Amino acid sequence: MNVRPRFFSLIAAIAAFVVAVAAAVSSQTSQPPSLSLLSREGRRALPIALVADQEFVALDDLAAAFQLTVREESLGAVTVSYKGKTVVLTPDQALASVGGRLVSLPSPPSRSGRRWLVPVEFISRALSLIYDARLDLRKPSRLLVIGDLRVPKITARYDALGPAGRLTIDATPRATATVTQEAEHLSIKFDADALDVPATLLAGSPSPGLVLGVRVADPTTIAVDLGPRFAGFRASNQPVDTTQRLVIDLVTAQTDAPAVSPSPTPTPTPPPVDLPPSFGQSASPFRTITLDPGHGGDDDGVKSAEGTKEKDLTLTIARRVKGVIEARLGLRVLLTRDDDRTVPVDERTSVANNNKADLFISLHANGSMRPAARGASIYVAAFDRDAAQAAAGGAERVPTFGGGLRDIELVPWDLAQTRHLDQSSAFAGLLQQTLHDRVPLATPPMERAPLRVLESANMPAVLVEIGFLTNPEQAKLMPGDAFQNAVVQALFDAIVRFRDTWPGGTH
């Protein structure tokens, strides 16, 4: 069988055309638009006619592409047939009858000279019901995928994370990608037949020092052009619903100039981290951190007089801390929420417990009835004596499957934190040190309180209040990059120190 090489070269040619046409169509509006038909048999460009801002295709062209029979009937109706199945169109009606079933169209068929024009949606809404292969119309890309080709739609986003950066590339439907470094670019090759790529994947130069641009290298490959400050990367693939998300964390060289801030105003960058970056899994058993951005959804948390919401502030900082930790330490960082949604308290702790996190940090911004209150606070859980005694209740003897009895240690969910209070206090102490000199600290900076979100955490856990949104001076600084950089760096440094003191072999 010598079909495969020819087949793959055909697919490559088709895909190259698709990418080129998609880019050309979007960037050069002066050229007549066309719909790209992509199938295993070949490719075809179908002219598009614009009628009253609606995109139409000629029935003649469709007939040639799909082996359809088009006939004008005596009463003015137009029939479109394929292998004994028929679609009936009626002039002046935005409807089509498919085997007795009516489907709506955005506008009625239109006559242009001797030709009948139909809205492009005719393909997906009517023709697809009588055709024997899948017709996947992607109108924004002016692309029609015929059959079972894998043509994921690609979108990209770049986030600056202090001096580092993160590139997030989504492929929908899912297609895994392999990332390799080649000279001055990263090559991202997708396991697909072709790519549905917008004309501009990322506008402009996302980060002049780190990422110069993102472009299509070949029909199934995207290239990321790297800047002079690029020092390394770490990539991970993860499914998100029907999308495969590729996250590439880009790390800068430590000795290079500070990264360009995402803020329009220049802001000081955080001081360099003591440790050199490492990109693999840590040799330490300390592996997973759960960050809990406080509040979210209907629950705004504290609001400043200027309108800054605690829920937004905590999410921004959590994302930045996650990016820096994953990029530099290679640790797994889970967020209890990665968007603006309501998360019950127990669900927050469950994320940490179910993933056997080694550290849980709940991020908050504080509020007081008095505007004088200011400074960051670190809270560790407090339990009354009865609760602590209940948690220390010891082992319970239970029957085993094969017969006999076995002692198991039972700790009530609500009291799980009682066994980690020493370690929680140790981390709180480290964080107090790393926050000191970077942001104002409250007096006293460390507190113990019966905080709901900490009590069920089955690992060292703290709640950090980064400052008071009710203090006018702090409320102005907290949304800014300088303040947030300082908090992110302090958290990062505390985590590094805590990891370095982590007792080996506990997991």
Partner 1 sequence: MNRRVAFAATIAAVLVFVALVAVARRGAPPAERPGTGAGKPVAPAAPSTPAAPGRKIKARLFYVADDGMRLTSVERDVAYGEGADEQAREIVAAQIAPVTSPMVSAIPSGTTVRAVFITKSGDAYVDLSRETRAAHPGGTVNELLTVYTIVNALTVNLPAVTAVQLLIDGKEVDTLSGHVDLRRPLAKNLTWVQ
Q: Where along the sequence are the contacts to partner 1 (CB under 8 A)?
A: 294-295, 299-303, 310, 345, 364-373, 377, 379, 384, 387, 414, 442-443, 448-453, 455, 463, 465, 468-470
Choice between 162 and 301, CB closer to partner 1: 301
Q: What does the DSSP assignment read for 30-44?
A: TSPPEEEEE-SS-EE
Choice between 10 and 411, CB closer to partner 1: 411
**What is the nearest approach in angstroms of partner 1 to the Cβ of residue 461?**
14
Choice between 252 and 304, CB closer to partner 1: 304
**What is the nearest approach in angstroms of partner 1 to the Cβ of residue 473?**
13
Q: Where are the alpha helices (DSSP H) in 273-416?
A: 310-329, 345-354, 385-391
Choice between 101 and 370, CB closer to partner 1: 370
Q: Are 352 and 453 in contact (CB under 8 A)?
A: no
Q: At what angle do helices 421-435 and 481-500 cross, to 10 degrees?
A: 140
Choice between 43 and 348, CB closer to partner 1: 348
Choice between 133 and 373, CB closer to partner 1: 373
The sheet carrying 143-146 orders its strands as 43-47, 34-38, 143-146, 135-138
* Residue 282, helix vs strand vs coil: coil
Query: Quick one: how far is CA 200 from the chain centroid?
Result: 19
**What is the nearest approach in angstroms of partner 1 to the Cβ of residue 335?**
17
Choice between 304 and 485, CB closer to partner 1: 304
**What is the nearest approach in angstroms of partner 1 to the Cβ of residue 328?**
29
**What is the nearest approach in angstroms of partner 1 to the Cβ of residue 101?**
52
| Distance separating alpha carbons of residues 432 and 160, to the nearest angstrom | 26
Give the residue among 231, 248, 244, 225 at the shortest CA–CA distance from 179. 248
Reading the block at residue 344, the tokens are: 């019950």
**What is the nearest approach in angstroms of partner 1 to the Cβ of residue 357?**
20
Q: What element of type H or E holds 180?
A: strand 177-182
**What is the nearest approach in angstroms of partner 1 to the Cβ of residue 396?**
21
The dihedrals phi and psi of 470, each to the nearest 5 degrees, come to: -90, -5
ω before 219 within 30° of 0 (cis)?
Answer: no
Q: Are 46 and 146 in contact (CB under 8 A)?
A: no
**What is the nearest approach in angstroms of partner 1 to the Cβ of residue 142?**
48
Choice between 201 and 453, CB closer to partner 1: 453
Determine the straight-line distance between the first and last CA of the chain, rounded to whole angstroms: 53
Neighbouring C-beta atoms of residue 115, cutoff 10 Å: 13
Give the residue among 379, 234, 416 at the shortest CA–CA distance from 292. 379
**What is the nearest approach in angstroms of partner 1 to the Cβ of residue 392?**
17
Neighbouring C-beta atoms of residue 277, cutoff 10 Å: 18
Choice between 48 and 335, CB closer to partner 1: 335
Give the residue among 260, 269, 82, 274 at the shortest CA–CA distance from 160. 260
**What is the nearest approach in angstroms of partner 1 to the Cβ of residue 302?**
4
**What is the nearest approach in angstroms of partner 1 to the Cβ of residue 105?**
50
| Distance separating alpha carbons of residues 433 and 382, to the nearest angstrom | 21
Choice between 266 and 450, CB closer to partner 1: 450
Choice between 61 and 292, CB closer to partner 1: 292
Residue 332 CB-half CA count within 13 A: 15
Q: Which residue has the tokens 């670019």?
A: 185
C-alpha dihedral (419, 422, 423, 426), degrees to nearest 10: 170
